[in-house]
Structure formats: C-alpha cells, structure tokens
Amino acid sequence: MRPTTLGVIGLGAIGGSVAREAKRAGLSVTGWSPDPAERRAALSQGALDDAPAQAAEVARAAELLILAALPAANLELLTKLGPCLSATALATDVGSVKRSIVARAEALGLAARFAGSHPFAGTQAHGFDASRAGLFTGAVVYVTPTRGGATAAREIAHFWESVCGARAVAMDATAHDTQIAVTSHLPQVIASLLGRYLAEHVPRGAALGPGAKDTTRLAASEPGLWTEILLMNRDMLLPTLRALEEPLGELERALESGDARGVSAWLDRGARWRRSLEP
C-alpha cells in the first residue's frame, strides 16, 4: 500500500528530489534539514507541506520515513527517531552502504518496519537546489531487507516504483555492499587517485583533453561523504583495491619488455568489456 504521508530527513539532492516526487504524486510531505534556510526553500518551492524545527516531529507524522542524511548521520538518526515512529510506520534510508544500517535497524527492534534503499540516481551537485522531480525515473533502486522484514521491503520497493518511477531491485545487504565496492566505490577511488596524481604532476596552465576530464569526473565528489562511505565498506573495498596490483603488474612487465602483443591484449580486455555496455 502506498503511504499518504511521507517524512524526509535531509533535504539535499536526494532527499529534496524524493520530496518533490512525493508531492507531485499527491502525498503529504513533511521534511527536516538542520539548515533552516534549506527548510524554507523546500517549503517555498512546494516540495513540502510542513517543515517543523525538530526532526522528531517529522518522524511522528510519517507513514514512511526516509533518512537522507550522510551515512553515519543516518545511523544516529535511526536510533534517535525510531522510537518516534508510529506503530505502523515504515522507514528507509538512501545511503550506498547497507549492512551497517540494516544491522542497526535489527538491533533497535525495527526489523519488521525497515528496509535499506540505495537509489542509483545521484548527482555531484549538493543541497536542495540540486534536487529535481524526475531524478529517479527509470533508475535502479536497490532495496535491502532486514531479517524478518520482507513485508516492509516490498512496501518500500512499491513506494520507489509507484511514486518515484524507479525500478526497485531486492538484494541482500551483504551482496549489495560486495557488488557496490566494485561497481561504485572502486571507480570513485580510481578517479580520485588519478585526479590527485594529475594535480601534482600536470604543469600549471596545461590543457587537459577529454580523456583526463572524463576519467576524473568522480574526483570532484564530496570528500566528506566519500570518507564515510569508504570507511563503512572498507572490508569489501580493500580486497578489490589489492586485486588491482596483478593487472597493473602485467602492464608494467609488458611495457618494460616492449611486448606490443602483451600491451594490446591488456588493453583489449577492458575495451571489449566497455564496448559490450553500448546498446
């Protein structure tokens, strides 16, 4: 069943976009941000019906509560706001690491009313001004159930699909974090590594081609957010980083020996994979 009242904690690009979609779908939306100016902006632009000064008031009013703060803050918010939820209310979050918050919900006795969410619809822009209706249309949203929380997961998946136009995919939290370490967190690290190297070695005023700009796009992401994400998922990410040593060594040895066939074969593996993604 789709909720009629939505609570959103955190009114940045993701939280603000959820609020806009819910309002467009006819839900009553209450939201909170620690920044009063952000609350006022969301109200004045019609993304919210109410923006109380206390996050607990949002939790009390919501049939579905969405935690859209930074990952570590979401853990604390769930602990603080869980007791404020009505007996039938559901809750989810939008962070990109799921095991920690799923475990927190289970420890708090909220397993039957919580499922994690991870929408694949982020933006490098920040704040409510970066939010927009339609951000989630057609996007994948991973929904990670708790133990014993299959019903809540189905309801939350239905919300993402019926209200936000997303495609919900159910996935175990551990499987999610394992996959995301490779497909999302590793690319962020590689982009940041390359960005750091170029910052230290490119001569001042030198022009950068599209290759350098494209491959370092993620390096512009918010360091504070990514510090939390990488630390929360470090046990999954570290083996992935270490696994890069072998293929880098292959390329080094081929270059040192002038092995054109080896270099070409090394490049071809990535090229064939990337071309397979094209429609």
Cβ count within 10 A of residue 1: 8
Architecture of domain 176-276: Orthogonal Bundle (1.10)
- C-alpha 134/C-alpha 147 separation (Å) is 32
- Alpha-carbon distance values, 227 to 20, 23, 71, 72, 207 (Å): 28, 32, 10, 10, 30
Tell me the fold of 5-171: Rossmann fold (3.40.50)
- Express each pLDDT in 149-177 by its tens digit: 999 999 999 999 999 999 999 999 999 99
Q: How confident is the model at residue 205 (pLDDT cuts 50, 70, 90)?
A: confident
Q: Do domains 5-171 and 176-276 have the same CATH topology?
A: no
Mean pLDDT of 231-257: 97
In this predicted structure, the answer to whether residue 210 has a pLDDT above a threshold of 70 is: yes
Residues 6+ apart with CB under 8 A from 4: 27, 28, 63
Which tokens hold the place of 66? Answer: 């969405």
pLDDT higher at 279 or 242: 242
- C-alpha 56/C-alpha 42 separation (Å) is 18
User: Is the distance from CB of 136 to CB of 165 less than 8 angstroms?
Assistant: yes
pLDDT higher at 121 or 159: 159
Q: Where are the domains of the chain?
A: 5-171, 176-276
Percent over 90 (pLDDT), the chain: 92
- Express each pLDDT in 4-41 by its tens digit: 999 999 999 999 999 999 999 999 999 999 999 999 99
The whole-chain average pLDDT of the chain stands at 95
Q: What are phi and psi of 31, to 5 degrees?
A: -140, 160
Task: Write down the pLDDT at residue 13.
Answer: 93
Residue type, 180: I
- C-alpha 111/C-alpha 93 separation (Å) is 13
- Minimal CA–CA distance to 58: which of 79, 35, 28, 88? 28
Task: Write down the pLDDT at residue 124.
Answer: 66
Q: What is the pTM of this model?
A: 0.92
- C-alpha 153/C-alpha 175 separation (Å) is 16
- What SS3 class is residue 254? helix
In this predicted structure, the answer to whether residue 279 has a pLDDT above a threshold of 80 is: no
Percent over 70 (pLDDT), the chain: 99
- C-alpha 183/C-alpha 233 separation (Å) is 13
Q: How confident is the model at residue 179 (pLDDT cuts 50, 70, 90)?
A: very high
pLDDT higher at 261 or 207: 261
Angle at 135 between CA 33 and CA 68, to 5 degrees: 25
Helices assigned H by DSSP within the chain: 13-24, 36-44, 55-61, 71-81, 99-107, 150-164, 173-180, 186-201, 210-215, 223-232, 234-242, 245-256, 260-276
Task: Write down the pLDDT at residue 167.
Answer: 97
Sheet containing 167-170, strands listed edge to edge, beginning at the edge strand earlier in sequence: 115-119, 140-145, 167-170
- Express each pLDDT in 63-119 by its tens digit: 999 999 999 999 999 999 999 999 999 999 999 999 999 999 999 999 999 999 999
* Element holding 141 (H helix, E strand): strand 140-145
